[in-house]
Structure 1
Amino acid sequence: MYKIVIIDDEPIIVEGLSRTMPWGEWECIVAGTAYDGFEGQKLIRNIKPNLIITDISMPRMNGLAMIAGLKGEFPDMEISILTGFRDFEYAQKAIQLGVTRLILKPSNLKEIEEAVSTMVGNLKKKNIHSEAEESESNSANSFIVKNALKYIQENYTRKVTLAEVAEKTYVSQWYLSKLLNKHTGKSFSDILNQIRINVAKDLLRNPSMRIGNIAEEVGFIDMAHFSRVFKKFEGCSANEYRNKNS
C-alpha cells in the first residue's frame, strides 16, 4: 500500500479527504494527517510517505521552500498542493520543483481524485521516469542552497546556526550541510566566516574603525576567534591586512 499524508490548517478539509476518498482504489492508506506545516514536516520525516496532499498557505510557512525541502530530501515523493494562488510564475516554479498537481481552492473531489490517480501512476512508472526525477531533485536542491545562502548573508552579524538555517529552509541539518558542501565545496561554518571576513576586509580600509569594533560588527563576539579566522582565510592578521590596504 502507498502511504499518503494530508496537511492543511483547515481540519474540515483534512477530515473530509481522509474519510471520503476511496483510498483503497489506488492502493493507498492515509498514514498521517497534520494541521500545520511544521507538524507536517515532522510527520513526513517519521513516516516517509509516498504521496502528500498539502496546503501551502499556512502560518509561518513559505510554500515553495517547503516543497523544495521535501523534494530535495525525498526526490521520489509525489506531491500535490492545494492553493489559493493563481499566479502563473508561482505555479511554474512549483512545477519545476516537482509538484505533480496544483489544485486551486475551492476544489472538488474529482480534481483531487485525478491528482491522486496521477501521483500513483507516476509511482508505478518510477523506473521509466527516473531523467525527470533527477532534474526535479537538482532544481529543488539549488532552490534550497540559494535560500540558505541568502539567509546566511542576511543574518551573519549575529550568532546564526546551521540548525536555524535548516529550519528556515525546511530541511534537516545533516541534509543542508551535505547540500552546502556539494554546491559550494565549503562547510556551513566556512561559508558563514567567509562572508564575515569579506565584510571585515571592506571595513578595515577605514582607518578610523577599531579592529575590535569591526570584529563585533561582523558577528564575532570573541576578538581572539576573529583573529584566528581572519588569518586562516587571508594568511595575515587583520592589522597586517589594514597596513597593506589602507
Structure 2
Amino acid sequence: MYKVMIIDDEPIIVEGLSRSVAWEKYDCQVVNTAHDGLEGIEKIRKERPDMIFLDICMPEMDGLSMVAALKSEFPDMQVTILTGFRDFEYAQRAIRLGVARFLLKPSNMDEIEEAIQYMCSVCAKQQNRGSTDEVEEVEEHEHIASNFIVRNALNYMEENYKEKILLSDVAEKTYVSQWHLSKLLNKETGQSFSEILNGIRIEKAKELLKDPSLRIGDIADEVGFLDMAHFSRVFKKINGISANEYRNQMIMEDK
C-alpha cells in the first residue's frame, strides 16, 4: 500500500482530500498531514511517504526550495502541487524540479484522481526499477534539485556570513537534513560547510584589509569570526600568509 501525505495550511483542503478520495481504490493510505512546510518536512522524514500533495504557497515558506529539497533528499517520492498561485514560469520551474502534477485550486476530483493514478503508476515502475530512460529522467530531476539547493545554500551563506550561522541554520532554510546538505555541498564544491563559510568570510576580509584605517581585530569581527586567533589561523591557512602580511602586500602594490 502506498503512503500519502497532504501538506496545506487550509484545514478544509486537508480534510477534503483526506476524506473525499477513495484512497483504498488506488491501494493508498493517508498516513499523516501537516499545515506548514517545516512541520511537513519533519513528518515526511518520519513517515517516508510514497507521494505527497503539497501547497507551495503557505506562510513563511519557499515552495520551490521545498520541492527541490524533497526531490533531492527523496528522489523517488512523488509530489503533486496543489496551489492557488497562478504563475506559468513558476509552474515550469516546479516541473523541471520533478513534480508529478501542478494543479491549480480549486481542482476538481477528476484532476486529483488523475494525479493519484499517475503517481501510483510511477511508484509501481520504480518498484520494478523502470526503463533506462525513466531512471535517467529520476536522476536528471534529482541533479537539478540538488543544484537548486546548493545555490540557495551558498546564497544564504553569502548574505549571512557576518552572523553566527551553523550548518543546521542553512539546512533549515533549504528544507533538507544537515547530513544531506553536507553531502551536497561536498559533492558540488569539494569543501565542507565550514570550509565554504570560512572561505566566504576570508574573501570579505581581504576586501576590508585594503583599508589601512581598519584594525585587523575589527575586520575579523566584521566578517563573522568570534575571535582574532581563529581568524588569523584560518586566514594564514587559506592564503599562506598572515592578514597583516597580506595588507602590507596590498599597500606595496598600490605604491
Which of residues 162, 169, 173 is equivalent to 1:168?
173
**Per-residue deviation at 1:242?**
0.7
Which range is displaced more, 12-21 or 65-74? 12-21
TM-score by length of structure 1 reads 0.98
Matches within 5 A, 1:11-90: 11-90=11-90
Equivalents in 2 of 1:244, 1:202: separation in Å?
13
Partner of 2:102: 102
Task: Provide the C-alpha distance between the structure 1 equivalents of 2:48 and 2:138, rounded to a whole number of angstroms.
Answer: 17
* Counterpart AA for 1:132: E
Equivalent residues in 2 for 1:177-216, closer than 5 Å: 177-216=182-221
Listed as ranges, the gaps of 5+ residues in structure 2 are: none
Write the distance in 2 (CA, Å) between the matches of 1:4 and 1:55: 14
Q: Deviations over 1:110-169 (max 9, x none)?
A: 111111111111111222211100000000000000000000000001101100000000
How far 1:87 sits from its partner (Å)?
A: 1.3
Tell me the secondary structure at the aligned position of residue 135 of structure 2. coil
Tell me what 2:135 maps to.
130
Give the RMSD, CA atoms, in angstroms. Answer: 0.8
Normalised to the residue count of structure 2, the TM-score between the two structures is 0.95
Q: Deviations over 1:171-209 (max 9, x none)?
A: 000000000000000000000000010111111111111
State the Cα distance separating 1:24 from its structure 2 match.
1.2
Q: How much has 1:220 moved relative to structure 2?
A: 1.1
The equivalent residue for 2:8 is 8
- 2:227 corresponds in structure 1 to 222
2:88 and 2:16 map into 1 onto residues whose CA distance is 28
> How far apart are 1:221 and its partner, in Å?
2.0
Output one character per residue of 1:41-92: Cα deviation in whole Å (capped at 9) or x when no partner.
1110001000000111111100000000011000000000111122111011
CA distance in 2, matches of 1:48, 1:83: 22
Runs of 4+ in 1 over 4 A off after TM superposition: none
* In 2: Cα distance, 1:234 partner to 1:93 partner: 39
- Residues in 2 aligned to 1:70 and 1:12: alpha-carbon distance in whole angstroms: 24
Within 5 Å, give how 1:226-241 maps onto structure 2.
226-241=231-246
Look up the equivalent residue of 2:83 and give its one-letter code. Answer: T
* Deviation sequence 1:82-112 (CA, Å, 0-9, x none): 1112211101100010001011011111111
Aligned equivalents of 1:198, 1:19: Cα separation in 2: 55
Q: Secondary structure at the match of 1:5?
A: strand
> Among residues 131, 137, 148, which one is paired with 1:143 in the alignment?
148
